Amino acid sequence: MSDGSVNLHIDDTVATITLDRPAKLNALTPVMLDQLQDIAARIDHDHDVRVVLLTAAGDRAFCAGADIDAWSRLAPVDMWRRWIRDGHVVFDRLAQLRQPMIAVIGGLAFGGGLELALTADIRVAEQQAKLGLTEVTVGIVPGWSGVDRLVRLIGPGRTKMLALTGDPIDAAEAARIGLVDVTCGTGEGHETARRLAARIASRAPIAVQLTKQLVAAAQGDGRSAAIDAMAGGFAINTADCQEGVASFREKRSPEFGNR
């Protein structure tokens, strides 16, 4: 398909998302964004999935970014209301998955491709990988929260070096500055990520998911949502909550006991 596709495979407790447009270096199209949105919703509601792998077909690129043919002909208002806004919704949904997500970068991760990788909790890069915010080389700016996520990950100075020059860096440099968490040899990315996923999946899943939310809150992401969720989860298990629900159903005044 010229518009590409995104595939989902679930093996026991590990879900694998695969960008499947290798002939176009897995460049993202509106169709692929819609599929990523649907897949994220499915994974988020699957209680058996404990870890997510974000991968790509082919050995040349993880994702070369947003397909130029898909956005270059858009009117400014359509660029805003469809391409940028929809992309934000999709990338935020991926970043906010309950389950930890590991991105496997086996080639180029440029522009929107790097922004996509930044939605993952952990990034595994093969030694030949190249990563960059390359938007300024074609006259645009990062549009899918790449700058925001990158500043929080590696700081403003290093983000400016990447975003203002548009120059890519290799996996070793990406690891040195904290953009990549694990490096490995060529062709070893998927197996390395699978082993890491298996280790995470073997841990207590609720504790893992709560820990991911705590880290996000510490970074300023969804702090109020994290507090609300954890407080609500605690409150619903109290005797007072059980009494409140029972009294509502029985149409009587509750007798709370601070317990």
CA distance linking residue 162 with residue 171, whole number of Å: 14
Which residues fall within 8 angstroms of residue 219, CB to CB, at 6 or more apart? 152
CA distance linking residue 106 with residue 15, whole number of Å: 18
Give catalytic status of residue 255 as yes or no: no
Which residue, 222, 111, 231, 226, is CA-closest to 168? Answer: 111
> What six digits make up the tokens of 258?
């601070």
Contact criterion met (CB below 8 Å) for 121 and 181: no
> Computed over its alpha carbons, how large is the radius of gyration of the chain?
21
Which residues fall within 8 angstroms of residue 6, CB to CB, at 6 or more apart? 17, 18, 19, 20, 32, 35, 36, 39
> What six digits make up the tokens of 97?
């998955």
Which residue, 107, 229, 225, is CA-closest to 170? Answer: 107
Beta strand ranges found along 115-167 (DSSP E): 122-126, 130-132
- The active-site residue, picked from 126, 135, 188, 191, is 135
- The active-site residue, picked from 115, 188, 191, 250, is 115
Give catalytic status of residue 191 as yes or no: no
Beta bridge partners of 170: 130
- In order of 28, 74, 131, 170, 182, the CA distances from 107 in angstroms are 15, 28, 8, 10, 14
Task: Report, as residue numbers or ranges, the catalytic residues.
Answer: 115, 135
